Amino acid sequence: MPQATGLIVCLVLFNAVVIAAMVARPDLTAGRGGKILAFIAMFCLPIFCGLLGFSREMGRSKTTAFCLSCHTMQDYGKSLLVDDPTHLPASHFQNRRVPTDEACYSCHTQYAMFGGLKVKLYGLKHVFIYYLGTPPAPENIKLYEPYSNRECLHCHLGARSFEEGVVHNADPATLPAIKANQLSCLSSGCHDSAHDLAHLKEAKYWKRGT
Amino acid sequence: MLSTSGSEKRLRFAGICLAAGLLIEALCLMWATPIAFIVFVAIGGLLIFIGLVLYLHSQGSSPVASD
């Protein structure tokens, strides 16, 4: 458990113990001082602890480990370790083009107003289907919306390798079309090898130097 | 603690809800899994919310005490 989470847990437990003491010994809250203590322990601190914990949980829900904790996602996690530089998620993960501890979220969030909220709601839908519905087979999982170039351009826009790339500049119309999301990075036959689950069995895997 | 048994009961019940909600939240914080997130928000959050409302209600309904 990371140190910050440990501290939050300690604070939450401390708050619970103080409240339990007040429930067990109501005379603690008698008088002005007791009432102030009760207000802090039973109103201010629970709100503070709740918000702190919620913020921690929201942060944790972005982690790669969180996404891959569902059985359905494990093949997608494996695809991050495919030893093939043309395999898009693998090359991003292995070369740290995305933070490795937030690899899924970095590419699958939406870099737009309320995009983070929207993908969190999608995430809740995933959890609902996973626990209460019938989750599809991993190879049948589809994106809710076509993948937008906006997500790629969030990092690659302005990067030399993107702006001065030979293929990107072979035709003067290509780069503006990519930037306007008229020519998809993924589905135009250029960077189309993303999470190729069909070939995972015969794929070679990168062994991390750990 | 309070002069009316009704508001005292509410305050106790608020304390129990808050303590239970906080314990659930502490437990959920120890696991980074989607189900822990759901339990944290749905059960822990709900218990804390009920506890807060009951606490405010107990304070609002208790007569002003002179110290």
B26 lies in some domain: yes
The reported pTM is 0.82
- Cβ separation A63–B32 shorter than 8 A: yes
- Cβ separation B19–A16 shorter than 8 A: yes
- Cβ separation B32–A66 shorter than 8 A: yes
pLDDT per residue over A83-124, tens digit each? 998 899 999 999 999 999 999 999 999 999 999 999 999 998
In B, which residues are within 8 Å of A43 by CB distance? 52, 55-56
- Cβ separation A42–B29 shorter than 8 A: no
Helix-helix angle B5-29:B45-61, to 10 degrees: 160
Residue B1 predicted with pLDDT over 60: no
B36 lies in some domain: yes
Task: Report the domain count for chain B.
Answer: 1
- pLDDT range class, residue A198, cuts 50, 70, 90: confident
Helix-helix angle A3-24:A45-60, to 10 degrees: 150
Residue ranges making up the domain that contains B47: 5-61
Written as one string, the DSSP assignment of chain A is --HHHHHHHHHHHHHHHHHHHHHH-GGGG-HHHHHHHHHIIIIIHHHHHHHHHHHHHHHHTTSHHHHHTSGGGHHHHHGGGBS-TTSHHHHHHHTTSS-GGGHHHHHHS--STTHHHHHHHHHHHHHHHHHHS-PPPGGG---SSPPPHHHHHHHHTT-HHHHT-HHHHHSTTHHHHHHTTSS-TTTTSSS--SS-GGGTTT--B-----
The residue of chain B nearest to residue A57, with distances taken between CA atoms, is B37
- pLDDT range class, residue A199, cuts 50, 70, 90: confident
* Residues contacting B13, CB < 8 A, separation 6+: B54
This model of the complex carries an ipTM of 0.86
B66 lies in some domain: no
Q: Which of B67, B60, B64, B66 lies closest to B14 in space, CA to CA?
A: B60
B67 lies in some domain: no
Q: Report the gap between the CA of A102 and the closest CA in chain B (Å).
A: 13
